[in-house]
Structure 1
Amino acid sequence: MPVGWQPAGGVKRYILSGTRQVKLTSNQNAGFIIRRIIMVQSINIKLWFGNERRDLRGGNMDKENLPNFKYNPNPIQARVIERNQTLCPVCGQKREYVYVGPFYSYDEVEGICPWCIHDGSASKKYDGDFQDASECEPVDKSVYIDELIHRTPGYLAWQQARWLSHCGDFCAFIDYVGWQEIKDIAYDLIDDVEVIGKKMKLSQEEFEKTLKNNGSHQGYLFKCLKCGKFRLTTDWD
């Protein structure tokens, strides 16, 4: 993959066992349903209580709930936040998660926790940005720019990462993609594909053939937070 610059009762509950997920009502017994679904080791059976994950023996598996990022809602999937203990250089606290994505600063900084990204303290302490403002498409309000570059995890790209916008605001980063991952929504990406193809001097056939997830021609999928339209940008290694 491209490498970047450096609570229970009465709520919705889910059983996850491998790829099986079954929704429970508040009056159903989780243990009974699990035994009926599949025989698995208890260590592989987990319950989701709201945003907090626990195993059946009552242990809290995630000691901290990750903050929500408007423009990068799945930073773990984006591989810029990892579950790995860190002593955050900003807040000085031991954390269960660490940021490993791009951060543009004169200082060489490692070990920033997601919470210090979310509240802006990491950017403020090191006078750094998580996204290059010059590679951001236009938006209607300066507060959107501030939130994106100072309080949002970046994503990994072969070249300088671009952040797309739509309906006057930045889009949310969805995932790394190739043509196989986006062919079913290609109708929504016609304009972007045409612009990229012309810029790279690729025919439609060449574009589809070369665009591969984890390949030399990498795609980055975004989605408008207002109208839901998908956007695409790509680069080469």
Structure 2
Amino acid sequence: MESIHFKYFESPIEESIFETNHEKHSCFFCGKSDFPIAELDDSITIIANENIDEAKSICLKCLSDRKYGFVQEIEHDALVTKEGVIIKADHSSHTKKSTYYTSYILPIEKQLDLIDKSKPLELIHTPPFRAWQGAKWLVHCNDFMKYIGTWQHEDFLKNAPNNNAEEYYENICLYGGDDLYESQFGPNKSEYANCTFYAFECLTCKEKRGYIDNI
């Protein structure tokens, strides 16, 4: 299985929006069909220094060569846009008074303020991962985390320091839920399970975090 290796993405190509170019679509930027390709739609916003209104297909090589980039979403609705500018969400005064804001959102926003200016530029030149409701990059140690793939029960078990997969899930999941692990990821999960867990690793301390998404 072919893997993609970027600073903030290390996972099989199937986890990205790119795919092996069996149908030989041509890249908008280089005109070639030799590299993994992504078909553009309304869920993907690309950034380039040229008119991209007619762009339909883009290749992984041109992303690596920084001929274009992606607008990337960060946890708690922040965005990384053209030239690596971080735009934080405009939270209401009511939200800012909440315990959730002070406990979860504010600490992340403070980390975003401390991120070196070169890092957002690196992130926009990173392949987005496939996500049902849009890919969101997580933050740790004043940096974006590296996407390392989707996880199932075996992955939680392998990474849990005390071999307790469910407890480990509860500790690292951004959005948890009562009995969610057992029904969606556990060894006896429901036949109707439809959640996906996107896993990330901190580049500095190697701590894992992640969040869930569903159809």
Q: Identify the TM-score tier after normalising by the shorter chain.
A: 0.5 to 0.7
Match of 1:182 among 156, 161, 166: 156
Equivalent residue number for residue 113 of structure 1: 59
Equivalent residue number for residue 236 of structure 1: 214
Residues 207 and 68 (structure 1), Cα distance of their counterparts in 2 relative to 1, 3 Å cut: closer
Q: Aligned equivalents of 2:54 and 2:181: distance in 1?
A: 37
Match of 2:130 among 152, 156, 160: 156
Larger Rg: 1
Residues 169 and 177 (structure 1), Cα distance of their counterparts in 2 relative to 1, 3 Å cut: same
Match of 1:132 among 55, 73, 98: 73
Match of 1:218 among 171, 186, 196: 196
Match of 2:116 among 121, 137, 141: 141
> Is there any run of 5+ residues in structure 2 with no aligned partner, and where?
47-51, 80-107, 162-167
Greater relative contact order (Cα < 8 A, sep 6+): 2
Structure 1 residue 91 corresponds to structure 2 residue 49: no
Q: Which residue identity does 2:121 align to in structure 1? A: D
**Do the aligned residues in 1 keep the contact of 2:25 with 2:57 (CA within 8 Å)?**
yes
Equivalent residue number for residue 41 of structure 1: none
Match of 2:171 among 160, 185, 191: 191
**Do the aligned residues in 2 keep the contact of 1:177 with 1:219 (CA within 8 Å)?**
yes
**Do the aligned residues in 2 keep the contact of 1:86 with 1:96 (CA within 8 Å)?**
no
> Is there any run of 5+ residues in structure 1 with no aligned partner, and where?
1-61, 124-128
Superposed displacement of residue 98, structure 1: 1.2
Superposed displacement of residue 168, structure 1: 1.5
Superposed displacement of residue 190, structure 1: 4.3
Normalised to the residue count of structure 1, the TM-score between the two structures is 0.56
Equivalent residue number for residue 122 of structure 1: 68
Identity over aligned pairs, percent: 27
1:220 is paired with a residue whose SS is: strand
